[in-house]
Structure 1
Amino acid sequence: MKVLVYSTRGFERPYIDAANNSKHELSFISDSLSSATAIKAVGYDAISIFSSDEACFLTLEKLRSFGVKYISLRSVGYDNVNIKAAKREGIKVANVPAYSPYAIAEHAVALLLALNRKLIEANANIKRFNFDLNYLTGFDLNGKTVGIVGTGRIGSVMTKIMNGFGCTLLGYDVQEDNLLEERYGLQYVPLETLCENSDIISLHVPLNSDTHYMINEDLLDKMKPSCYLINTARGAVVNTEDLIKALESKSIAAYGMDVYENEKGLFFKDLSREIPEDDMLLKLIAMPNVLVTGHQAFLTTEALKNIAETTIYNLDCWEKGTTSDNEIIT
Structure 2
Amino acid sequence: MTHKVLVSDPLAEAGLALLREAGLHVDVRTDLSPAQLIQTIPDYDALIIRSGTQVTADVIRAGQKLKVIARAGVGVDNIDIPAATEAGIIVANAPTGNVAAAAEHTIALLFALARHVAEAHRSMREGAWDRKAFMGVEIANKTLGLVGLGRVAGHVCRRAVGLGMNVLAYDPYVSQEYAQNMGAELVSLDDLLARSDFISLHLPLNEATRGLINAETLAKVKPGARLINTSRGGVIDERALLAALDSGQLAGAALDVFTQEPLPPDSPLRTHPRVVLTPHIGGSTTEAQFQVALDAAQQVIDVLHDRPARYAINAPLIPERDVEFIHPFIGLVERMGRFLQQFHPMQVERVELIVHGPLAEYDTKILQAAALRGLLAGVVEERVNVVNADLIAFRRGIIVSEYRQRHHYERYENMVTLAIRSGEQSVNVKGSVLHGEPFIVAVADRWVEFQPEGHYLVSWHEDRPGVIGALGTLLGENDINIAFMHVGRLTPRGVAIIVLKTDEPIPSTLLPQINAILGRDFEARIIDL
Q: How does 1:15-164 map to 2 (within 5 A)?
A: 15-23=14-22, 24-31=24-31, 34-64=34-64, 67-164=65-162
Opposite residue 58 of structure 1, the aligned amino acid is D
3-state DSSP of counterpart to 1:291:
strand
Contact 1:226/1:252 (<8 A) preserved: yes
TM-score by length of 1: 0.88
Q: Give the equivalent residue in structure 1 for 2:4.
A: 2
Contact 1:224/1:251 (<8 A) preserved: yes
For 1:296 and 1:193, the matched residues in 2 are separated by: 30
For 1:32 and 1:195, the matched residues in 2 are separated by: 43
For 1:233 and 1:139, the matched residues in 2 are separated by: 24
Shift of 1:20: 3.1
Contact 1:7/1:33 (<8 A) preserved: no
Shift of 1:14: 2.3
CA 32–103 in structure 1, closer or farther in 2 if over 3 Å, else same: farther
CA 288–90 in structure 1, closer or farther in 2 if over 3 Å, else same: same
For 1:173 and 1:35, the matched residues in 2 are separated by: 39
For 2:181 and 2:292, the matched residues in 1 are separated by: 31
For 1:17 and 1:317, the matched residues in 2 are separated by: 15
Contact 1:70/1:91 (<8 A) preserved: yes
Contact 1:145/1:197 (<8 A) preserved: yes
For 1:74 and 1:105, the matched residues in 2 are separated by: 17
Contact 2:147/2:200 (<8 A) preserved: yes
Contact 1:19/1:308 (<8 A) preserved: no
Superimposed CA distance per residue, residues 136-192 of structure 1 (whole angstroms, 9 cap, x where no aligned partner) = 1101101111101111111111111111111111110012252441452x1111101
Contact 1:33/1:54 (<8 A) preserved: no
Superimposed CA distance per residue, residues 75-125 of structure 1 (whole angstroms, 9 cap, x where no aligned partner) = 212222222211222322221122131111110111121122111222233
Does residue 320 of structure 1 match 2:305?
yes
CA 39–109 in structure 1, closer or farther in 2 if over 3 Å, else same: same
Q: Give the equivalent residue in structure 1 for 2:516.
A: none
Opposite residue 19 of structure 2, the aligned amino acid is N
For 1:104 and 1:166, the matched residues in 2 are separated by: 20
Q: Give the equivalent residue in structure 1 for 2:273.
A: 288
For 1:182 and 1:68, the matched residues in 2 are separated by: 41
Shift of 1:329: 1.9
Superimposed CA distance per residue, residues 20-78 of structure 1 (whole angstroms, 9 cap, x where no aligned partner) = 353322111223573552212242221111223222222211122xx333212212122
Contact 2:149/2:169 (<8 A) preserved: yes
For 2:179 and 2:89, the matched residues in 1 are separated by: 38
Is the radius of gyration larger for structure 1 or structure 2?
2
TM-score by length of 2: 0.56
Q: Give the equivalent residue in structure 1 for 2:524.
A: none
CA RMSD of aligned residues (A): 1.9
Does residue 239 of structure 1 match 2:237?
yes
| Higher relative contact order, chain-length normalized (CA < 8 Å, sep 6+) | 1
Shift of 1:307: 0.7
Opposite residue 63 of structure 1, the aligned amino acid is G
Could you list the runs of 5+ residues in structure 1 that have no partner in the other structure?
A: 268-275
For 1:61 and 1:306, the matched residues in 2 are separated by: 30
Match of 1:301 among 253, 278, 286: 286
Identity rate, percent: 32
Shift of 1:309: 0.9
Opposite residue 325 of structure 1, the aligned amino acid is R
Contact 1:35/1:58 (<8 A) preserved: no
Opposite residue 14 of structure 1, the aligned amino acid is E
Matched residue count: 311
Shift of 1:291: 0.8
Q: Give the equivalent residue in structure 2 for 1:272.
A: none
Opposite residue 3 of structure 1, the aligned amino acid is V
For 2:50 and 2:127, the matched residues in 1 are separated by: 42
Opposite residue 26 of structure 2, the aligned amino acid is L
Could you list the runs of 5+ residues in structure 2 that have no partner in the other structure?
A: 316-529
Contact 1:15/1:304 (<8 A) preserved: no
